């Protein structure tokens, strides 16, 4: 996309420059080689959040299988990496022992890792290899609970998340207060300030909101959209999604027997069932008019939660008469689809940018930690890439468009957002045409947009910041045209 030196080439060059500079420092060299290797690896997405915010459940829901959590000996402190592999296996990395293979017990809907014989605080990382399509392009990281910021406003777990992951799904129950303050710590390096693109905020456990009403999920999604307009929130993340991991996961692993039980329940009249669904206790212990084993009921509660059971029975009653239909509806309602779409649009499609960003952040951190002769040049090289690379300019323009600093009217702002990749980086999405449009159509749309924005960029009535923004859009259009031309047709 970038005319001139491409971003990944520039980052590659920078890393080699750094390697040359630190050639006498084995630790730094290791670090840089690791960064270099990471450029080719799948995108690392960490799922972080405060205590009991539903991290493992969301991870399971994304994977579609019950593989998390791997609870450490004291239930904390362990980063669990989920990567693609030919067969299930788990390896434990501790602070003082060589890596050790862990026993993996497969279950119907996932697996469990046996963690006996480890003392608290000993384990650092567990790497789980799991054969699934979901992990083809990304590596997911389940992280320990993030504690509130300390006196310096730092949170050790969050620091490590930012160091180790290319992108972060930050889970929060309410998206306020302390949680946001931890997120604000992501923005204190030059790289962090220049490109706030690696965080999606997720309102989690939304099924429990509003006392577990049936429409809780819908209102939660509306709330998320409202909250995203709050400048304090949207300065910190690229997107805000509401997602109930529990219901999403239930939708993905719903079995025929679960469906049968739900269908059975749906046969009870609405008023009758409502009294039984008043509380979890009543549901498990009450006298239902239909034969349903208390064990099955408990299992249903476990899988769906009380709100989930309410939702599922309502759905069955209103037309979801098969497991497949119910699953699809549950997944749709849980917000999981939107979350995954968000992830693929903002993270997977921008893989190269995020990788480059991580590498730049890594170099910046290294240079700041171990200054020496020549590191000043390295730092300015980092800043030069940040300032010059078109990808980052697009991202900055996106950020500016998000909080309406530029003062474009709504229509123009929307178009600019789309063209610089605010909705996704695919050509069709950027140009706002149907995804199976012909090259001819794409070309027309792109050149049309280019001319219009070129006029805007030279419009003397606009403010300087707006003209600059328009220039960025023009550049994006040129890039698209170049890409189409390269396509050879």
Partner 1 sequence: MAGIWLDALDEIARTCREHGRADLLLAVRQKRAQLLDPKLRVLVIGEPNQGKSQLVNAIVNAPVCPVGDGRTTVLPTVVQHAEVASATVVQAASAPGRAAGTSVPVPAERTPVPLDQIAAGVAGTLGRRPGGGPAYVEIGLPRALLGAGLVLVDTPGADEVAVLGAAAPPAALHHADAVLLVSDSTRELSVAELNMLLHVTRQHPNVAVVQTKTDLVPDWRAVAERNRQHLAEAGVPAALIPVSAALRLRAAAADDHGLNAESGFPLLIARLQRDLTGKADVLARASVAMIARTVVEQLAAPLRAELESQEAEEQSGPISRLHAAQREVDELRRCSTRWQNTLADEMADLLSDIEYDLRDRTRQILRMVDEAFDTADPLVAWDTFQEWLQQSLVEAAEANHEWLAQRCDFAARRVAGNFARYGYDVLPPWSMTVPEDLLDRLPEIERPTIDRFTVSQKAITGMKGSYGGLLMFGLVMTLAGMPMINPVSIGAGALFGGKSIRDESRQLLRRRQATVKTAVQRHVDDFFVRTTKECRDTTRQVQRMLRDHFTALTEELQEAIIQSFRTAKQAADTDAAVRDQRQREIRLKMTRLAAVYEQAQQLTAPRPARPLEPRA
**418 interacts with partner 1 by CB under 8 A:** no
**163 interacts with partner 1 by CB under 8 A:** no
Query: How far is 78 from 103, CA to CA, in rounded Å?
Result: 17
**209 interacts with partner 1 by CB under 8 A:** yes
Closest contact distance (angstroms) between CB of 294 and partner 1 is: 11
Site map 43..82 versus partner 1, x via CB under 8 A? --------xx------------------------------
Judged by CB under 8 A, the stretch of 157-165, 299-307, 360-368, 429-437 that binds partner 1 is: 299-307
Judged by CB under 8 A, the stretch of 209-217, 347-355, 370-378, 463-471 that binds partner 1 is: 209-217
**182 interacts with partner 1 by CB under 8 A:** no
**220 interacts with partner 1 by CB under 8 A:** yes
Choice from 91, 94, 137, 178 touching partner 1 (CB under 8 A)? 178
Closest contact distance (angstroms) between CB of 258 and partner 1 is: 16
Judged by CB under 8 A, the stretch of 6-14, 301-309, 421-429, 481-489 that binds partner 1 is: 301-309
**282 interacts with partner 1 by CB under 8 A:** yes
Choice from 13, 153, 156, 177 touching partner 1 (CB under 8 A)? 177
In our burial notation (b when 16+ CB lie closer than 10 A, e otherwise), range 354-366 reads bbbbbbbbbbbeb
Closest contact distance (angstroms) between CB of 279 and partner 1 is: 3
CB closer to partner 1 out of 101 and 287: 287
**230 interacts with partner 1 by CB under 8 A:** no
**174 interacts with partner 1 by CB under 8 A:** yes
| Residues at the interface with partner 1 (CB under 8 A) | 51-52, 147-148, 173-174, 176-178, 205, 208-212, 216, 219-220, 222-223, 226-227, 278-284, 298, 301-302, 305-307
């Amino acid at each position: 996309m970038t005319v001139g030196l491409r971003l990944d080439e520039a980052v590659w060059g920078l890393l080699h420059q750094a390697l040359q500079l630190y050639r006498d420092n084995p630790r730094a060299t290791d670090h840089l080689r690791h960064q270099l290797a990471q450029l080719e690896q799948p995108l690392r997405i960490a799922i972080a959040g405060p205590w009991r915010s539903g991290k493992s459940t969301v991870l399971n829901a994304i994977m579609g299988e019950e593989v998390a959590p791997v609870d450490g000996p004291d239930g904390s402190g362990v980063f669990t990496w989920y990567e693609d592999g030919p067969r299930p296996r788990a390896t434990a990395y501790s602070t003082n022992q060589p890596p050790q293979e862990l026993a993996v017990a497969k279950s119907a809907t996932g697996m469990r890792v046996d963690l006996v014989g480890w003392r608290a605080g000993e384990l650092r990382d567990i790497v789980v290899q799991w054969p699934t399509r979901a992990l083809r392009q990304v590596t997911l990281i389940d992280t320990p609970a993030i504690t509130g910021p300390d006196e310096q406003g730092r949170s050790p777990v969050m620091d490590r998340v930012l160091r180790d992951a290319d992108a972060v799904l930050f889970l929060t129950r309410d998206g306020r207060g302390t949680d946001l303050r931890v997120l604000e710590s992501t923005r204190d390096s030059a790289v962090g300030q220049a490109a706030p693109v690696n965080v999606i905020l997720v309102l989690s456990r939304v099924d429990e909101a509003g006392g577990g009403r049936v429409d809780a999920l819908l209102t939660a999604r509306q709330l998320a959209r409202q909250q995203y307009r709050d400048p304090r929130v949207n300065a910190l993340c690229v997107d805000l999604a509401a997602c109930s991991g529990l219901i999403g996961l239930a939708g993905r692993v719903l079995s025929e027997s679960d469906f049968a039980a739900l269908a059975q329940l749906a046969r009870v009249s609405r008023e009758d069932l409502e009294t039984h669904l008043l509380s979890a206790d009543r549901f498990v212990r009450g006298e239902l008019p239909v034969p349903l084993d208390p064990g099955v009921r408990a299992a249903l509660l476990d899988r769906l939660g009380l709100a989930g059971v309410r939702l599922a029975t309502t759905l069955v009653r209103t037309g979801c008469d098969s497991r497949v239909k119910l699953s699809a509806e549950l997944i749709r309602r849980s917000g999981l689809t939107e979350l995954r779409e968000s992830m693929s649009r903002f993270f997977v499609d921008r893989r190269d940018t995020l990788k480059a960003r991580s590498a730049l952040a890594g170099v910046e951190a290294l240079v700041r930690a171990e200054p020496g002769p020549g590191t000043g040049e390295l730092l300015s090289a980092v800043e030069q890439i940040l300032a010059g690379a078109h990808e980052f300019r697009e991202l900055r323009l996106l950020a500016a468009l998000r909080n309406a600093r530029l003062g474009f009217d709504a229509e123009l702002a929307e178009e600019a957002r789309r063209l610089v990749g605010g909705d996704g980086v695919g050509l069709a999405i950027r140009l706002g045409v149907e995804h199976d449009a012909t090259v001819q159509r794409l070309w027309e749309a792109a050149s049309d947009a280019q001319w219009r924005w070129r006029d805007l960029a030279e419009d003397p009535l606009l403010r300087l910041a707006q003209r600059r923004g328009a220039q960025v859009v023009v550049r994006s259009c040129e890039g698209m045209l170049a890409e189409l031309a390269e396509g050879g047709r």
